[in-house]
């Protein structure tokens, strides 16, 4: 059902009726890939919307398969979560991101990047060793806690006591929590009261079409209303905001007007390898 014709990999992991054998093959492949060091981390810059200054990055994992080329997370994260591979894979992304962010700090100064954000699955938050893994990654890399951001989704957060304990411990260490895909869940509001979030990320689905202004713009109006409501909530709770999935200058302008100060999206910067971020930071240093 997907356009990735060459190896038919997407076929295995998409849809409901996945053949058990394909499952097992993908699961096994993922463990092999981790052992063979085929995962890489790319970084999508987070920018200030008023002057396009890079203030942070979000780490995103990629699988460099020897035959299939670069495989995106949508094709393997669900299987990694099912098989438990997400725990060691997430640990790899954590360590790599901390190491890289610390390297950027020492090359470009401690203020060059305010935040390096990681995506963390429910399964990782359930792992009783997660907090000590994070501590070890910070200690080993020398990255200050304040620079690390852990992005969680609503469905991951609402998973009971162990997860809740983990989130409060991270917060207690000075690590900021970011509510990813904000507004798409059913209890976004109560989440803000129950968890020590520092940042909310307005989901891309509210950014798509937010700029449309042509008389039949009811959908765009609704998105603007959500975007405005999220800003007001964030202010009420003292949280920072990031708008994600910004694909045009018009969208950036509308969001800026609504009060968003920071954003991410293809219009601003695509995910890139660490060298790409280094070039951006080097250029900023001369400005
Ligand atoms: P996410 O956390 O919501 O990340 C944003 C996704 O949107 C990324 O896709 C990014 O490349 C893409 N994106 C950014 N700007 C734009 C834009 O302007 N337009 C469009 N159409 N897309 C944009 P990616 O890298 O394929 O990641 C997909 C999802 O996989 C992520 O969604 C996240 O939930 C998950 N993921 C990625 N890396 C990791 C990881 O290391 N661990 C875990 N647990 N999940 C990860
Ligand atoms: Ca994210
Ligand atoms: Ca997101
Ligand atoms: Ca998303």
Which DSSP string corresponds to the chain?
A: --S-TTT-HHHHHSSS---HHHHHHHHHHHHHHHHTT-EEEEEEEEEETTT--EEEEEEEEEEEETTTEEE-GGGTHHHHHHHSTHHHHHHHHHHHHHHHHHHHHHHH-TTS-SEEEEE--HHHHH-TTHHHHHHHHHHHHT--GGGEEEEE-HHHHSS-HHHHHHHHHHHHHT-EEEEEEETSSS-HHHHHHHS---EEEE-HHHHTTTT--SS--HHHHHHHHHHHHHHHHHHHHT-EEEE----SHHHHHHHHHHT--EE-BTTTB--B-HHHHHHHHHHHHT-
Q: How far is the CA of 282 from the centre of ligand 1 (A)?
A: 25
Residue 10: the pLDDT is: 46
Residue-wise pLDDT tens digits, 251-269: 999 999 999 999 999 999 9
Residue of 77, 118, 202 best suited for mutating to test ligand 1, as the one with most atoms within 8 Å of CB = 77
**Complex ipTM tops 0.90:** yes
| Ligand 1, atom 34, residue with closest C-alpha | 119
**Residue 5 above 80 pLDDT?**
no
Inform me whether the pLDDT recorded for 1 exceeds 50. no
pTM for the model:
0.92
What are the tens digits of pLDDT across the range 164-201?
Answer: 999 999 999 999 999 999 988 877 788 888 889 999 99
Measured from the CB, is residue 263 less than 6 Å from ligand 1? no
């Amino acid at each position: 059902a997907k356009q990735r014709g060459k190896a038919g990999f997407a076929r295995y992991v998409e849809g409901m009726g996945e053949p058990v054998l394909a499952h097992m093959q993908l699961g096994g492949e993922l463990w092999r890939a981790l052992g063979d060091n085929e995962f890489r981390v790319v970084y999508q810059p987070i920018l200030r919307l008023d002057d396009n200054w890079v203030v942070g990055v979000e780490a995103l994992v990629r699988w460099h398969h020897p035959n299939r080329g670069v495989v995106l997370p949508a094709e393997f994260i669900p299987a990694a979560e099912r098989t438990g591979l997400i725990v060691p894979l997430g640990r790899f992304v954590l360590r790599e991101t901390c190491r890289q962010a610390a390297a950027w700090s020492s090359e470009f100064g401690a203020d060059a990047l305010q935040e390096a954000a990681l995506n963390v699955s429910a399964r990782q938050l359930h792992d009783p060793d997660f907090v000590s893994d994070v501590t070890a990654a910070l200690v080993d890399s020398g990255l200050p806690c304040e620079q690390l951001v852990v992005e969680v989704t609503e469905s991951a957060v609402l998973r009971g006591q162990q997860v809740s304990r983990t989130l409060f411990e991270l917060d207690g260490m000075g690590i900021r929590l970011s509510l990813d895909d904000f507004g798409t869940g059913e209890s976004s509001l109560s989440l803000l009261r129950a968890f020590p979030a520092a940042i909310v990320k307005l989901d891309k689905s509210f950014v798509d079409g937010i700029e449309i202004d042509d008389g039949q713009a009811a959908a765009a109006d609704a998105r603007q209303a959500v975007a405005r409501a999220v800003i007001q909530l964030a202010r009420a709770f003292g949280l920072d905001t990031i708008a994600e999935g910004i694909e045009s200058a018009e969208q950036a302008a509308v969001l800026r007007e609504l009060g968003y100060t920071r954003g991410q999206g293809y219009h601003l910067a695509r995910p890139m390898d660490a060298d790409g971020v280094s070039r951006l930071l080097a250029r900023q240093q001369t400005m």
